[in-house]
Amino acid sequence: MAKACGLRIGPRGYELVLLDGSAKKHKVVASEAGELSLADADGAVQVLKDLASRHDIPKDGLRVVIEGGLAAFRRVNLPVNDDDKIEKVVKFEVESELPQFNIDDVIVDWERLSSTKDSCSLLTTIVKKEDLQSVLDLCERGGVEPIEVDADTSAIVNAAAAANALDAESASLVVFVGEESSSIAVMDGGELRELRSIKQGALTHIAPAAPAEEEEAQAEGGEEELGFGLTEEDEERFEEPSGVEDAEGTEAAREQVLARMRREIARSVSGARTLQPLERVLVAGYDMPGLIGTEILDVPVEALDGLPDTASCASRCATAYGAAVAQLGGGLISQSLRREELRFTGTMERLELPLAVASLLLLTFLGVWNIGLDKEHKKIDRAVSYWRDSAVGFMIPPNMEDAGNLNPPPDWMAKYVKQFTGRSPEGEFRTDPELSSYGQMEFLESRLKGMVVGLEKELGQGGDFVQPQSALKGATYVLSVLDDTKAAGARPSVRSLKSTYNRGNSTTPDSVVVIMDITFFAEDTATGTEHFEAFRGAIEEQPWHLDFNPARTDPLENGEGIIVERITIKMDVSKTEEATS
């Protein structure tokens, strides 16, 4: 059976729920709630270490919940619907909605509310990296590093869904009352519509306890002056009995917090955009007298029922339970706040054994493969040795005296063949210690080709001679371009053509000059001129073009075209030959 643990770390307390089973059918193995102060980091680390030692928390199944008041929520509409594309653009799209944050300093998670083929509506959760990293650092020091991190807002929704508290035919508000903030989710027929958090909690009116270091410092202060020159004894002497007044002040402050909380819930009720009628406000979390059992804008406020039995703190452990259910693969919202640049500490510790086993298997496989390759190499080299000796025997007879196909063989080749080919007296193939049998054949071939090239150079058959450019090719290239103008409606007529090769010198390269007279027939002189200019532009676009210079252009007597005399086209034919080769 799979195990999952949900651990909520609030500013003043913690809640833990350990489940065993599946998302649909599970049981509570352990649950616990207690005090923890984030202001006292060392004390919080000690609490987490104690939890890790008393409960068998699975390292690969822990999900931590942070206070909902650390998050902000925005609705975003995007013109894409692919998850990968959403991941790339959502952070930049939500940037304009967060003027108070630097977008590089926050984590942005999203939940799809609705979608079409090419667009979607998202509800984003934004958390500052430093707030999230501080909780992760505490978890790492306490030995309870989480796989994933949720906020109260998503965890309470998953808890309500797992408790079957969401009606498919009505809408409801699900509220989790934390120590210093409360989370509100608007649910419509079992689907998420809105998330928000309010800065009012069950302990907002009570000042947090001072860390142990400050208490010790105050205890060691003795009779130091506390203000206006008074010592502790003076303070006690003039102190008025205030027990009743403090209690009344605390109760008044709590009533103010309750009034603000009811006002914020009323705002959520009035602003909820739901298709189903909003019938209930479901509340879980820390005890807030005067909230459950009342009505807000005629909507009854009820306790979130159906949560599993988690000792005496079922309601307070609701978000921890929702996180554990989500870790098992259940719930409505799959939140992921461990992303982007946040370091996933402890990863290597969890991967050490699998990596070691994989490395050992890979090493064994490579060893077996290397043995097989060595045997195959020896087999192939033996076969190539027969081929090599056959080729050598074809060129040079074994006794070196009879005439062979290579007669007389070069001294270097005869020496090499005698030393490194054939069989030794023991019947083994002779080989070059630096070359394989196939490498010996390539070596002999390359040396022979080098000798052939040297002989060709001695005979004047090398490839260093440059042939003159062809005047016929130059004329052919020009006529080919002229013929292409027919596709645009031109009707050219060549009256004369002369192509000449000009030898270059140290400053001027070789070239071919084509001189021609052409008549362009057309409906009028302007059209004929357009066809000529098109021909001229096509010539100038060619890689071999050097110069285009017509001597004279005259209209025909009947006005149906023009005649261009002595068009001189200078070209470098070698550029075209390089391009085609």
CB 269 within 8 A of CB 299: yes
565-579 per-position pLDDT tens digit? 999 999 999 887 554
Cα atoms found within 13 Å of the Cα of residue 379, Cβ hemisphere only: 6
What pLDDT was estimated at residue 229?
44
Within a 10 A sphere around the Cβ of 200, how many other Cβ atoms? 24
What pLDDT was estimated at residue 101?
82
What pLDDT was estimated at residue 464?
59
Coil, strand or helix at 188: strand
Q: How far is CA 321 from CA 67, 191, 335, in A?
A: 15, 19, 15
Average pLDDT over residues 494-507: 91
Give the integer Cα–Cα distance in Å for 249 and 299. 30
What pLDDT was estimated at residue 239?
47
Lowest mean pLDDT: which of 88-102, 319-333, 472-486?
A: 88-102
> Checking DSSP bridges between strand 106-115 and strand 120-128, what pairing results, if any?
antiparallel
Range of the domain at 87: 3-211+249-345
| Domain presence at residue 233 | no
Coil, strand or helix at 351: helix
Lowest mean pLDDT: which of 227-241, 365-379, 510-524, 542-556?
A: 227-241
The pair of three-digit structure tokens given for residue 477, joined into one six-digit string? 């290239």
Average pLDDT over residues 179-183: 94
Judge residue 49's burial from the number of C-beta atoms within 10 Å of its C-beta, 0-12 exposed, 13-18 middle, 19 or more buried.
middle
Task: List CB contacts of 528: < 8 A, sequence separation 6 or more.
Answer: 520, 521, 522, 555, 556, 560, 561, 562
Per-residue confidence band for 535, with pLDDT thresholds at 50, 70 and 90: very high
Lowest mean pLDDT: which of 185-189, 295-299, 307-311?
A: 307-311
Q: Which amino acid is at 104?
A: D
Task: List CB contacts of 473: < 8 A, sequence separation 6 or more.
Answer: 512, 573, 576
450 and 534 belong to one structural domain: no
| Bridge partners of residue 176, in order along the sequence | 183, 284
Most confident of 151-155, 204-208, 232-236: 151-155
The pair of three-digit structure tokens given for residue 317, joined into one six-digit string? 């452990």
118 and 88 belong to one structural domain: yes
| Domain presence at residue 437 | yes
Domain edge (last residue) among 307, 330, 345: 345
| Domain presence at residue 363 | yes
70-129 per-position pLDDT tens digit? 999 999 999 998 888 898 888 888 888 888 888 888 999 999 988 998 899 999 999 999
Handedness of CA 110, 113, 114, 119 (dihedral sign): negative
What pLDDT was estimated at residue 343?
44
Give me the residue label for tokens 């309750």: 258
302 and 424 belong to one structural domain: no
494 and 356 belong to one structural domain: no
Terminal alpha carbon distance of the chain: 71
Most confident of 96-105, 428-437, 485-494: 485-494
Q: How far is CA 273 from CA 192, 225, 268, 269, in A?
A: 11, 58, 9, 9
The pair of three-digit structure tokens given for residue 418, joined into one six-digit string? 């005698």
| Domain presence at residue 512 | yes
Per-residue confidence band for 522, with pLDDT thresholds at 50, 70 and 90: very high
CB 345 within 8 A of CB 140: yes
CB 545 within 8 A of CB 552: no
513 and 374 belong to one structural domain: no
337-394 per-position pLDDT tens digit? 886 645 444 455 557 788 889 999 999 999 999 999 988 888 888 788 877 777 777 7
| Domain presence at residue 91 | yes
Helix ranges (DSSP H) in 426-522: 437-458, 471-484
What pLDDT was estimated at residue 353?
80
Is the entire prediction scored with pTM above 0.75? no
Closest CA to 476 of 412, 569, 553: 569
Give the integer Cα–Cα distance in Å for 134 and 136. 5
Question: Which CATH number fits the domain that encloses residue 144?
Answer: 3.30.420.380
Within a 10 A sphere around the Cβ of 312, how many other Cβ atoms? 10
What pLDDT was estimated at residue 578?
52
422 and 543 belong to one structural domain: no
330 and 393 belong to one structural domain: no
Per-residue confidence band for 246, with pLDDT thresholds at 50, 70 and 90: low
321 and 405 belong to one structural domain: no
313 and 415 belong to one structural domain: no
Within a 10 A sphere around the Cβ of 320, how many other Cβ atoms? 31
Residue 449 has pLDDT above 70, yes or no: yes
| Bridge partners of residue 31, in order along the sequence | 17
| Domain presence at residue 243 | no
399-423 per-position pLDDT tens digit? 655 556 676 778 888 788 778 877 7
Coil, strand or helix at 433: coil
186-203 per-position pLDDT tens digit? 999 889 999 999 999 999
| Domain presence at residue 445 | yes
C-alpha torsion angle, residues 161, 165, 168, 171 (rounded to 10): -100
Task: List CB contacts of 552: < 8 A, sequence separation 6 or more.
Answer: 564, 565, 566
Task: List CB contacts of 385: < 8 A, sequence separation 6 or more.
Answer: 429, 431, 437
Question: Which CATH number fits the domain that encloses residue 551?
Answer: 3.30.70
301 and 426 belong to one structural domain: no
119 and 184 belong to one structural domain: yes
CB 317 within 8 A of CB 31: yes
Within a 10 A sphere around the Cβ of 384, how many other Cβ atoms? 17
Q: Which residue has the higher pLDDT, 323 or 466?
A: 323
What pLDDT was estimated at residue 211?
61
Task: List CB contacts of 284: < 8 A, sequence separation 6 or more.
Answer: 156, 159, 174, 175, 176, 177, 303, 304, 307, 315, 316, 318, 319
Average pLDDT over residues 8-13: 93
What pLDDT was estimated at residue 516?
94
Closest CA to 110 of 96, 121, 102, 100: 121
Per-residue confidence band for 506, with pLDDT thresholds at 50, 70 and 90: confident
Domain edge (last residue) among 295, 319, 345: 345
475 and 529 belong to one structural domain: yes
What pLDDT was estimated at residue 346?
46
**Helix (H), strand (E) at residue 48:** helix 41-54
Handedness of CA 125, 129, 130, 134 (dihedral sign): positive
Domain edge (last residue) among 345, 362, 393: 345
Q: How far is CA 17 from CA 33, 58, 88, in A?
A: 9, 12, 35
What pLDDT was estimated at residue 192?
92
Per-residue confidence band for 215, with pLDDT thresholds at 50, 70 and 90: low
| Bridge partners of residue 187, in order along the sequence | 172, 192
Could you give the percent of the chain with pLDDT greater than 70? 86
The pair of three-digit structure tokens given for residue 441, joined into one six-digit string? 């054949």
Give me the residue label for tokens 């640049």: 341
Mean pLDDT for the chain? 84
Coil, strand or helix at 471: helix
Average pLDDT over residues 455-478: 80
